[in-house]
Structure 1
Amino acid sequence: MIVSKVLLKDLIANHLKQENGLNEVLELTLNAMMKHERSLHLEGADGNKGNGYRPGRVYGHGKLLELRIPRDRNGEFYPKVLALLRSQQAETDKLVSALYGQGLTQSQVGEVFERLYGRHYSSSQVGRMIEWMREDVAEWNSRPLEGRYPVVFIDALWVNVRRDSVKKEAFYVVLGVKEDRTREVLAISHQPVESATGWEMLLQELKARGLSSVGLMVADGLSGLEEAVAKAYPGSDFQRCVTHVKRRVLARVRTEDKPRLAEDLRGVFATDRPDDTPEKGWQRWQSLCRKWQGKYRRFSRLQTDPLYRACFT
């Protein structure tokens, strides 16, 4: 039987009127496009052949599309149309995550999507997308780590989180510097408040994932944090983050004095001196304290404070 274009058009139009009809047509169309794209990819390929299909899923028109993704024997083929769909899905996922993180409910997120895209995502659909993202994050947060990082930075970010109400809660962030000087985010852990105990728990989790040695741990001045680091990595050096040091010092002066003090602090913690030593840095710190103690008496105590002395050891 030969099907004319007019008859085919009518068949498709009638099918689209059925429940989930549009999605079924999208699935058929995308599957056919990917199969044809594989045929083009294999033309002239020496020794490479088709190797069946694998299941896949993407969102289309607010619902999940179940696809049959063609494979090749050499594992070289990846459909371009699928890459475009995944990019769109990734943007959708990021938007869902951002809106949910700002305190919107799943129903409210669905309403935003309806206004933006002209289609409605139900609470259950948004919930599934959020759950998939949580699974991806959990998998990433449990991946194996390298055995040693020369430098590790730890700090907490404060982000709005909805529970009974929307309040800021702590997200523990661990950033490692590798031997080749590239950086890698090692972990992000969500806990309502920041504490030394919370950091110790997270550092023990890093050890369980394979991180056995840290050369230098850089952190802020949270009470008890240095002791928590020493328990998890007793052989590591500990250094207070210079940015946090500067913030603590700047908080001690009036607003109109902050620019001049900030300039003096840049001179104390300058990193462009090849012949610099910890002792020279400590001397610069004492000179700064002497300069400012005439106007702010607190600086006389900072001049010999062990907390700041540790920044230059």
Structure 2
Amino acid sequence: MSKKLHPITDELLDQLLANYQKPEDLIGAEGILKQLTKKLVERALDAELTHHLGHDKHQPVGNSSGNTRNGFSRKKLKGQFGELPIEIPRDRHGTFEPQIVEKHQTRWVGFDDKILSLYARGMTVREIQAHLQEMYGAEVSPSLISSVTDAVTDEVKAWQSRPLDAVYPIVYLDCIHTKVREGAVRVKAVYLALGINLAGEKEILGLWIAQSEGAKFWLQVVTELRNRGVQDIFIACVDGLKGFPEAIEAVFPHTSVQLCIVHMVRHSLNYVSWKRRAEVAADLKRIYQSSTADEAELRLGEFETKWDDDYLGFYPVSTDGYKTAVSFRS
């Protein structure tokens, strides 16, 4: 059972805010929060050392090794309050391992997240440095920012090559367009493989950036998935790219390749007038969102009855499976 924390009383708050007049008194470079953080961290460090030694200050030695306090070391931690000087208590034998401020730690937990958040928004190293200086008064070197972002790059590479499950019932292969900073900000296509695992959970299997999309590129992608442990895919959902099904079947010959429902609907609506597109799309949705195959067949018949005279040859011709796909006549 966790120990109950002491409540912060109104009397304590009154003492802390006795001289409060403006926001800077609370969150400024020498504000109450910064001073309070320093005091609390140093008190917690002292409590950790007391637990480590087995005795408090000025008490008899409480351990068999004769280990005692041995002054302080000083460090500055970078964080949202700028640089915060902290005194770290030491023991004579050098066996004390602080937990709240670990050895060699120079930044508060979460400070790296701020750097990564700014980096993800496309800011340069110099822009991040200036922003942290302006917002928090923290002087952060370009090398520190680079080391933080480089560490994430290593994690991304490890994630990109991680082993995968042997079987995925469904894998979606498509792309999204996002802004990427390469000197200037450009829009690039990021190709992705999204799998549904046996537990029914979505899982990003990989992300790739390529100059152009083609059957050869996707052949490399599915080959990589196989090399990372995927042995079988039941259904691969793809767009209408020429040669795409053949590329998948070359690596996973037993996989059923299915055209993405979004691409099928978009393609079909090209044959429908603008004023009727919303109505046709709604009727198509009733088919592919049916809860059973029998219901889908019923909705298909209703669709044919309603639209056959206007769009002969366009209508859906099959509803194989539950909430899966509707194939269309060309």
Tell me the secondary structure at the aligned position of residue 223 of structure 1.
Answer: coil
Distance 1:30 1:202, change over 3 A: farther
Cα distance in 1, alignment partners of residues 293 and 214 from structure 2: 37
2:314 aligns with: 302
Cα distance in 2, alignment partners of residues 212 and 275 from structure 1: 32
2:118 aligns with: 96
Tell me the secondary structure at the aligned position of residue 281 of structure 2.
Answer: helix
1:181 aligns with: 200
Cα distance in 2, alignment partners of residues 119 and 175 from structure 1: 40
Corresponding letter in the other structure for 1:271 = S
1:224 aligns with: 243
- Structure 2: gaps (5+ residues): 1-37, 54-76, 89-97, 319-323
Cα distance in 1, alignment partners of residues 302 and 219 from structure 2: 33
1:166 equivalenced with 2:185 (yes/no): yes
Deviation at 1:228, TM superposition (A): 1.4
Tell me the secondary structure at the aligned position of residue 185 of structure 1.
Answer: strand
Deviation at 1:144, TM superposition (A): 1.0
Q: How large is the Cα RMSD of the aligned pairs?
A: 4.1
1:124 equivalenced with 2:156 (yes/no): no
Distance 1:236 1:160, change over 3 A: same
Match of 1:273 among 280, 288, 292: 292
Corresponding letter in the other structure for 1:99 = R
Deviation at 1:122, TM superposition (A): 4.0
1:112 equivalenced with 2:123 (yes/no): no
Cα distance in 1, alignment partners of residues 300 and 179 from structure 2: 39
2:167 aligns with: 148
Distance 1:161 1:235, change over 3 A: same
Corresponding letter in the other structure for 2:281 = A
Tell me the secondary structure at the aligned position of residue 192 of structure 2.
Answer: strand
Cα distance in 2, alignment partners of residues 37 and 230 from structure 1: 66
- Tell me how many residue pairs correspond in the alignment: 245
2:28 aligns with: none
Deviation at 1:260, TM superposition (A): 1.3
Cα deviation digits, residues 237-285 of structure 1 (max 9, x gap): 11112122223334554554332122112122123235357x7676566
1:60 equivalenced with 2:50 (yes/no): no
Tell me the secondary structure at the aligned position of residue 226 of structure 1.
Answer: helix
2:252 aligns with: 233
Tell me the secondary structure at the aligned position of residue 193 of structure 1.
Answer: coil
Cα distance in 1, alignment partners of residues 50 and 224 from structure 2: 45
1:190 equivalenced with 2:209 (yes/no): yes
1:290 equivalenced with 2:312 (yes/no): no
Corresponding letter in the other structure for 2:201 = T
Distance 1:29 1:181, change over 3 A: same
Tell me the secondary structure at the aligned position of residue 249 of structure 1.
Answer: helix
Query: Which of the pair has more CA radius of gyration?
Result: 2
Cα distance in 2, alignment partners of residues 87 and 152 from structure 1: 37
Distance 1:195 1:164, change over 3 A: farther
Q: State the identity as a percent.
A: 22
Deviation at 1:162, TM superposition (A): 2.6
Cα distance in 2, alignment partners of residues 291 and 263 from structure 1: 18
Residues 99 and 109 in structure 1, CA contact (< 8 A), matched pair in contact too? no
Match of 1:206 among 213, 217, 225: 225
1:297 aligns with: none
Corresponding letter in the other structure for 1:211 = V
Deviation at 1:219, TM superposition (A): 1.7
Corresponding letter in the other structure for 1:96 = L
Residues 171 and 195 in structure 2, CA contact (< 8 A), matched pair in contact too? yes
Distance 1:266 1:311, change over 3 A: closer
- Structure 1: gaps (5+ residues): 1-24, 41-58, 69-77, 294-299
Tell me the secondary structure at the aligned position of residue 162 of structure 1.
Answer: strand
Distance 1:259 1:130, change over 3 A: same
Deviation at 1:209, TM superposition (A): 0.8
